[in-house]
Structure 1
Amino acid sequence: MDQVYTIIDNIDQRIGARIRGEREGRGWSLTDLAAKSGVSRAMIHKIERGESSPTASLLAKLAGAFGMSMSALLALAELEEGRLLRAADQPLWVDPQSGYVRRHVSPKSAAPLNLVEIDLPPGAEIPMPASAYLQTRQLIWVLAGNLVFVEAGERHELGAGDCLDLGPPGDCVFKNESAHKCRYAVIVFQKG
């Protein structure tokens, strides 16, 4: 269990370093990234220094500015090389705003695929901008509970076992309108 806490404790620093690396690798200033993402320069600075834990919505905006999904951005920050990623070593990230828990299940590999498990608390609502989906194809598979997924204004009500192939990129919202936790998997395919 200590390993899980260690992963959570240092994830903000790892995410911040990855965002700074992506920004600097493109030759962008903080002001450039702020303009491209819609996230304030001051907030980006705090995130890069590991002084603030970004919300899922902020991470999606920053990832979209880089032309990648939130899953791809987090995978770059979270994962070590190797073919096997044991359950105890799977990185966890908790959205400080909603309490949503994200577990990266798939090991880092050359395959253009990421598998992520999400626990969405009752009443939680996570908006994601279309920019977070531009370079990916995604499936949502509900493992337990009920999920409402609003995709470009279209409402999908999903129960345990249901699987949805996302359509063209559009603003989306993940909602748990029930009184119980919802657990679902997101399978992300990076477009070639």
Structure 2
Amino acid sequence: MGELEERLAVRLAELRAERGWSLEELAARAEISRSTLSRLERAEISPTAALLGKLCAVYERTMSRLLAEVEAEPPQVVRAAAQTVWRDEASGFARRSVSPPHPGLRGEVVEGTLRPGADIAYDGPPVPGLEQHIWVLEGAVEITAGGQEHRLEAGDCLRFRLWGRSRFHCPGPGPVRYALLVVLP
């Protein structure tokens, strides 16, 4: 397990402790088993994108904000070599924090890559009303938001405020690469 995953495990335990929640209470709120949460907080397992999505919703944070909380103070210029990349090999999702969250700023830029066949569903937004702009750079993706499915191809941009469930699916035949601009409400 890498250093980022270990710091993430510590931060997740801190967030639960800050709220005074037991593992049982968090398990009920996030609909994740107590044993999985315990192993996650002890850095025995790496979280999947879906698991992190559920925890972010419970803690009312974007995934980027949570990951930024475990990084050092971000610089104003983020060089390509310094951009944090998180991978969920199980789902085929890679996430590069191009412009990570920063205190006093409401927006961030993320590069996402999904391999062909990847299908990730989120139960709800980490922050209700989260504004997202998704610009497809290469390939194609099917995105469901607000109960409506959109097929996007290279050059297309989808923008919306997220209130409910969402889903990202890469129909193939190749991977999809997209830029995601996230703006807090």
Do both share a fold (TM > 0.5)? yes
Residues 89-100 of structure 1 aligned to structure 2 (within 5 Å) = 89-100=82-93
- 2:30 maps to 37
What do the CA deviations read for 1:130-188 (whole angstroms, capped 9, x no partner)?
Answer: 14341521111111110100124311000111111124412111000011010011111
d(CA) in 2 for partners of 1:10 and 1:96? 17
Q: What value does the CA root-mean-square deviation take over the aligned residues?
A: 1.7
- 2:44 maps to 51
Identical residues among aligned pairs (%): 39
Structure 1 residue 74 displacement after superposition: 2.0
State the AA in 1 paired with 2:157.
C
Residues 156-167 of structure 1 aligned to structure 2 (within 5 Å) = 156-167=150-161
Contact map agreement 1:54 1:96 (CA 8 A) in 2: no
Distance 1:79 1:145, change over 3 A: farther
Distance 1:81 1:70, change over 3 A: closer
Distance 1:179 1:79, change over 3 A: farther
- 1:76 maps to 69
- 1:119 maps to 113
Distance 1:150 1:107, change over 3 A: closer
State the AA in 2 paired with 1:185.
A
- With the length of structure 2 as denominator, give the TM-score of the two structures: 0.92
Distance 1:78 1:96, change over 3 A: farther
d(CA) in 2 for partners of 1:146 and 1:18? 34
d(CA) in 2 for partners of 1:79 and 1:174? 30
Distance 1:94 1:9, change over 3 A: same
Q: Secondary structure at the match of 1:101?
A: strand
Runs of 4+ in 1 over 6 A off after TM superposition: none
Q: Secondary structure at the match of 2:52?
A: helix
State the AA in 2 paired with 1:64.
A
- 1:146 maps to 140
- With the length of structure 1 as denominator, give the TM-score of the two structures: 0.88
More displaced 10-residue stretch of structure 1: 132-141 or 150-159: 132-141
What do the CA deviations read for 1:89-136 (whole angstroms, capped 9, x no partner)?
Answer: 111111131121111111442211121101100110011111434152
| 2:183 is the alignment partner of 1:189 | yes
The structure where strand makes up a greater share of residues is 2
Residues 103-114 of structure 1 aligned to structure 2 (within 5 Å) = 103-110=96-103, 111-114=105-108
Contact map agreement 1:103 1:117 (CA 8 A) in 2: yes
State the AA in 2 paired with 1:179.
P
The structure where helix makes up a greater share of residues is 1
- 2:4 maps to 11
